Amino acid sequence: MCGIVGYLGNSNTKEILLNGLKELEYRGYDSAGIAILDNGAFYSNKAIGKLHNLEEKTEAFNSKGFSLGIGHTRWATHGKPTEQNAHPHYGTDTYIVHNGIIENYQELKSELEKGGVRFNSQTDTEVFVHLFEFYQKSLGNYEAFQKTLKRVEGAYAILLITKNSETIYFAKEGSPLMLGLKDDEKFFASSDAAVLGLCNDVHFFEDGEFGYVDAKGFHIESSESKDIAFQHASLADDKISAQKEGYRFFMEKEIYEQSDVLADTLRGRVLDSGISLQELDGEFLDGINEIKLCACGTSYNSALVSSYLLERQAKVRCSVEIASEFRYKEPLLLKDTLFVVISQSGETADTLEALKMAKKAGLKTLAICNVDNSSIVRLADKSILTRAGVEKGVASTKAFATQVAVLWMFTLFIAQQKSTLTKDELKQELKTLRAIPKAAIVKDELHEKVKRLSKRYLHGHGFFFIGRDLFYPLALEGALKLKEISYLHAEGYPSGEMKHGPIALADPELFTIALLSENILFEKTKSNMEELGARDSTMCCVSSHFYDKADDFIKLTKYDHYMLEFYEMMVATQLLSMEIAVRLENDVDMPRNLAKSVTVE
Ligand code: M6R
C-alpha cells in the first residue's frame, strides 16, 4: 500500500528520496516523511496530505557530501492519517520506514510499555523501532536488528537507520523491496518506478531476506543462507511513458493509450496459424480439467469476463474467486485444476496469499500480470505479462483492457489445443482479436458526447450499471470505476436480476447505465431496460442500436462480434466515470481512501 525509498551515497539524498516518493505516491498518499543521517546528525520531517506538502516543509534542508536516508509515503492501516502516524517512526536515535502490517504489535507494545517505553503514534510500525533500541542496549546494531526481526510477525518491507552507524538495515517479508546499485551509490525502493533512470543493477529481495548496506558494500542473508548473492537484474527505462503527455490526468492518458497497449499485448501472440503463447509451451496444460481464476477488484472483473469465454469457447470448467474470500473459505483444491491469478501490480496481498495456498496444495499455477519481477510473477509456475506499461491512475483502465485480451488469447490457446472450435470459427476469433486495438480507440465524438451528458449524472441516489453475459462483468467494472473516482454509489448488476429486488429502488433519481449488446441477448436486455424505464429510472443506453426509450444514448459502432462491442463499451464507461469525477472536481488519479497497490490484507 505504502511506498518506501532509501538512499546511501554522495548525491543529494533529500532530492533522491523526494523524487522516488513522487513516483510511488500513487501507492498511498495520506502522508509522507523522510529521515536523513548527515554528518552524524539526523534531519527528519513529515507532512500530511500529498507530497508537495513535504517538499515545502523540507525546502530549506540539503545534505552535503556523503549521507543516507529513508522515506515513506503512507496509506493508513493502523491509526489515522496524522503527522504523528506518518513514517519514519523514531525512538531515541533510530528511524524506520515500514510497508506491511506487524500483526503481533499489540502484544509487543504492551511489553515495551511495561518497560517504560512511551509511544508517539498509534501505528503497528513503532514497536519495531523501540524493540530495536531495547536490544541495542546489550547487542551490536545488526544483532539487535536480527533479534527484533525474530520477534515480529506479519508482513513487512523495512528500512532502518540508527545514529551510531552510517548503515541502512533492511528486511523483507511479504511486502516488496529492492536494492539498486550504481558505482558507490545504493538505492532502495518498494517498486522500481522510484529508481528508474538512477540505477540499472538491482536485486529484488525474496521473503525472509535481510541485511545491511554501508559505504563499503552490502550484505544479504536469510535464515537459510548466510550469504545471498546479488541478482544483478536489470530495469526497463519506462520513465518517459509514465508522464502525462498533455492529458489532464494519468487516467485519461491511460484510456487513450489502450489501443496501442492492446496492440503490444497481442504482438507476436496472434499468428495466422493460431495463438502462440510460448510461456505455456510444452506439457504445462496436460491433465488440466478445470480452471480456477482468482483476483481482486478490477482484476476480478476481468477474470469474470474470461469465465464466459473459457466455458463458451474452450469448453473448460471454470470458477472465479475473490482472493480475500478464497483465502479463508477452506477451498477444495483438486490437482487437475489450473490456478490462475490475475493482478496488475503483482503485489496484491490477498492474491499473493491465495497463490501461495494453491501452490501449497500442489496445483499448477499461472499468473497474468502487468509487472515483471513482481512477487506474484516470481511465485507462479508460469506467467503471461499483459504489457500494459506503467499504470499510474489508481482507477485501473488499460490494465483491465489488456487482462481481458490476455485471458481471451489464453482461452483460444486452449480451444485450439482441445479443438473445441472449428478451423473457421478459430480463424474468425483471431480476426476479431486483431481488431480489438481499433475498437478501443477513443473517438472524438464519443468523448465529446460523454463529456456533455455527464452533467445530468452528478446527483441522484445511485447508479445501476446493467448488462448480460460478459457485459455483466463489464457493468461491474463500470460501477467500480464510477465509485472509485466520483464517490457516488454505483452497483453492477446482471440485467435479468434487477426484477429480483433492486428494481424497488427505481425512480427518476436512480440512474441506469444500460450496456445493450446487439450481438448477445439483445431482446432480453431490452426487456429488462423497459422494466426499469416503466418505473421511471433515468436511463443512459450505451449501444450501437438506437433505443428510443432512454433519456440519453451513447452511440457506438456497429460490430458483428460481441468482443468488439465490449471494448468500445469499456472505453465509453471509463470516459463517463472520468467526466463525472471531473465535474465533481475530484482527484481523478488519486481518489480518496484508495491506493494503487494493496499490499495489506
Ligand atoms: O494490482 P491488482 O490488479 O492485483 O489490484 C487489484 C485491485 O486492488 C485493483 O484492481 C483495484 O480494484 C483498482 N483500483 C481498480 O480500479
**What is the per-residue pLDDT across 170-226, written as a single tens digit (0 to 9) for each?**
999 988 899 999 999 999 999 888 998 899 899 999 999 999 999 999 999 999 999
153: CA distance to ligand 1 center in Å?
26
* The pLDDT value given to residue 418: 93
pLDDT average, residue stretch 524-553: 89
Reported confidence tier of residue 100, pLDDT bands at 50, 70, 90 = confident
Per cent of the chain over pLDDT 90 is 78
Predicted TM-score (pTM) of the model is 0.77
**252-437 topology per CATH:** Rossmann fold (3.40.50)
For residue 295, give the ligand 1 atom closest to its CA. 4
Between 187 and 236, name the one with better pLDDT.
187
The x, y and z cell numbers of residue 36, run together, are 536523513
* The pLDDT value given to residue 240: 47
Task: Take atom 4 of ligand 1 and give the residue whose Cα is closest.
Answer: 343
Spatial separation of the C-alpha atoms in residues 53 and 50, rounded to whole Å:
6
Between 315 and 75, name the one with better pLDDT.
315
**What is the per-residue pLDDT across 253-272, written as a single tens digit (0 to 9) for each?**
999 999 989 998 998 899 98
Torsions phi, psi of 525, nearest 5?
-65, -40
pLDDT average, residue stretch 295-313: 97
DSSP string, 457-498: GSSSSEEEEEESTTHHHHHHHHHHHHHHHH---EEEEEGGGG
Q: For the chain, how far is it from start to end, CA to CA, in angstroms?
A: 10
Q: Which CATH number applies to 442-583?
A: 3.40.50.10490
Q: DSSP H helical segments within 39-172, as ranges? A: 51-57, 105-114, 126-136, 141-151
Task: Take atom 11 of ligand 1 and give the residue whose Cα is closest.
Answer: 297
Contact 458, 580 (CB under 8 A): yes
DSSP string, 11-42: S-HHHHHHHHHHHHGGG--SEEEEEEEETTEE
Spatial separation of the C-alpha atoms in residues 590 and 443, rounded to whole Å:
25
Pocket of ligand 1 (CB under 6 A): 296-299, 343-345, 348, 351, 394-396, 480, 484, 597-598
HSE toward the beta carbon, residue 87, CA cutoff 13 A? 35
Torsions phi, psi of 517, nearest 5?
-85, 140
Domain ranges of the chain: 3-244, 252-437, 442-583
Q: Which of 364, 382, 483, 596 is catalytic?
A: 596
* The pLDDT value given to residue 361: 96
Whether residue 296 lies in the annotated active site = no
* The pLDDT value given to residue 1: 57
**What is the per-residue pLDDT across 309-356, written as a single tens digit (0 to 9) for each?**
999 999 999 999 999 999 889 999 999 999 999 999 999 999 999 999
Burial code (b: 16+ CB inside 10 Å, e: under 16) for 502-522 equals bbebbeeebbbbbbbbebbbe
**3-244 topology per CATH:** Glutamine Phosphoribosylpyrophosphate, subunit 1, domain 1 (3.60.20)
Whether residue 455 lies in the annotated active site = no
Whether 442-583 and 252-437 are alike in CATH topology: the answer is: yes
pLDDT average, residue stretch 566-580: 98
Output the average pLDDT for the chain: 92
pLDDT average, residue stretch 69-83: 84
Q: Which of 2, 199, 296, 541 is catalytic?
A: 2
